[in-house]
């Protein structure tokens, strides 16, 4: 017995030490099991994704030859491949296409999946970066995150992103949430001028767009503060209680003054994609192709 106890000094430890040691061992075992479970679960997801991509690829191999008899073979192939790529959420499927069609397909998947890394399938560096910028722009606006604006490489697009998100944060959460002090100050000045109903205060605004919107709104009513008077919105058929009447991701003012789209129709060109989604992805909301 003495020899056995010598080989197992654990038995001679005080009870509290044995309890702590047991807890430590149990913690390590649980952590190991949890880590293994996460690895296995992740691997299963990866395998399922690979299987889905493989299945989609095989289906396309069988269905794409049908497009040869179509009046527009390239358009037929593009439509089928893009549908499959979006369905399985993988830009690698876009490899069934050629040239610019591949880039359009990858771009669409990246934006739909909110995955800038998917843009890596685009070989042209400038277009690859533009694709990533579109993903970050869309995410920044949707999540109201200024940190995502900082990841946009285009200076013009980044500045517009910061201004748009800052204004939305200032409006919904207060100026403390809008990190760009100048944008926040401009929004506060606009709010004060609008609330005063004094056109002289509107004229004192430094931002031309704010100045015009304020002058248009003061004295005429503008419940949603989108710069369009109640009278103007009534004539356009838009809702003075909502800055984005058709809920397409673009405000009524943006649609009328900048894009030229229909503020009461979420898909002005009728191609199945909302005006907001098309502008964020770099496409023309009034027709085919990119801006």
Residue (of 281, 289, 291) closest to 116 by Cα position: 281
Average pLDDT, the chain: 81
Q: Is residue 81 over pLDDT 50? A: yes
Strand segments (E) across 245-287: none
Pick left, alpha or beta for residue 180 (phi over 0 → left; psi -120 to 50 → alpha; otherwise beta).
Answer: beta
Domain region containing 138: 134-174
Of 174, 205, 234, at which residue does a domain stop? 174
Three-state secondary-structure class, residue 290? strand
Q: Does the residue 109 lie in any domain?
A: yes
Q: Does the residue 198 lie in any domain?
A: no
Q: Does the residue 35 lie in any domain?
A: no
Q: Are residues 116 and 67 in the same domain?
A: yes
Rounded to whole angstroms, the Cα distance separating 52 from 70 reads: 27
Per-residue burial over 212-222, b = 16 or more CB atoms within 10 Å of its CB, e = otherwise = ebbbbbbeeeb
Of 148, 174, 200, at which residue does a domain stop? 174
Q: Does the residue 65 lie in any domain?
A: yes
Domain count, the chain: 2
What's the whole-number mean pLDDT along residues 38-43?
79
Q: Are residues 119 and 140 in the same domain?
A: no
Q: Does the residue 113 lie in any domain?
A: yes
Return the structure tokens found at 175.
Answer: 């100026």
Pairwise pLDDT comparison (229 vs 220), residue with the higher score: 229
Q: Is residue 6 over pLDDT 60? A: no
Q: Does the residue 105 lie in any domain?
A: yes
CB-CB neighbours of 277 under 10 Å: 20
Rounded to whole angstroms, the Cα distance separating 50 from 266 reads: 35
**What's the pTM?**
0.50
Confidence of residue 113 (pLDDT cuts 50, 70, 90): confident
């Amino acid at each position: 017995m003495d020899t056995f106890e010598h080989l197992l000094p654990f038995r001679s430890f005080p009870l509290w030490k044995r309890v702590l040691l047991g807890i430590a061992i149990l913690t390590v075992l649980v952590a190991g099991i949890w880590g293994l479970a996460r690895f296995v679960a992740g691997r299963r997801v990866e395998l399922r994704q690979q299987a889905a991509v493989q299945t989609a690829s095989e289906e396309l191999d069988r269905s794409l030859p049908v497009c040869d008899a179509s009046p527009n073979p390239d358009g037929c192939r593009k439509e089928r491949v893009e549908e499959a790529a979006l369905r399985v959420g993988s830009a690698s499927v876009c490899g069934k296409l050629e040239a610019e069609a591949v880039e359009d397909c990858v771009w669409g998947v990246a934006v739909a999946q909110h995955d800038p890394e998917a843009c890596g399938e685009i070989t042209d560096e400038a277009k690859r970066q533009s694709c990533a910028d579109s993903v970050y722009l869309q995410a920044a606006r949707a999540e109201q995150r200024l940190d995502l604006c900082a990841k946009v490489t285009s200076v013009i697009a980044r500045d517009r992103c910061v201004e748009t998100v800052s204004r939305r944060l200032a409006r919904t959460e207060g100026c403390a949430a809008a990190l760009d002090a100048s944008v926040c100050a401009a929004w506060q000045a606009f709010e004060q001028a609008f609330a005063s109903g004094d056109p002289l205060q509107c004229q004192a605004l430094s931002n031309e767009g704010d100045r015009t919107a304020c002058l248009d709104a003061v004295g005429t009513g503008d419940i949603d503060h989108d710069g369009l008077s109640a009278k103007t919105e009534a004539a356009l058929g838009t809702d003075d209680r909502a800055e984005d009447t058709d809920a397409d991701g673009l405000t009524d003012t943006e649609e009328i003054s900048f894009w030229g789209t229909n503020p009461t129709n979420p898909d002005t060109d009728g191609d199945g994609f909302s005006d907001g989604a098309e502008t964020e992805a770099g496409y023309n909301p009034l027709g085919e192709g990119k801006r």
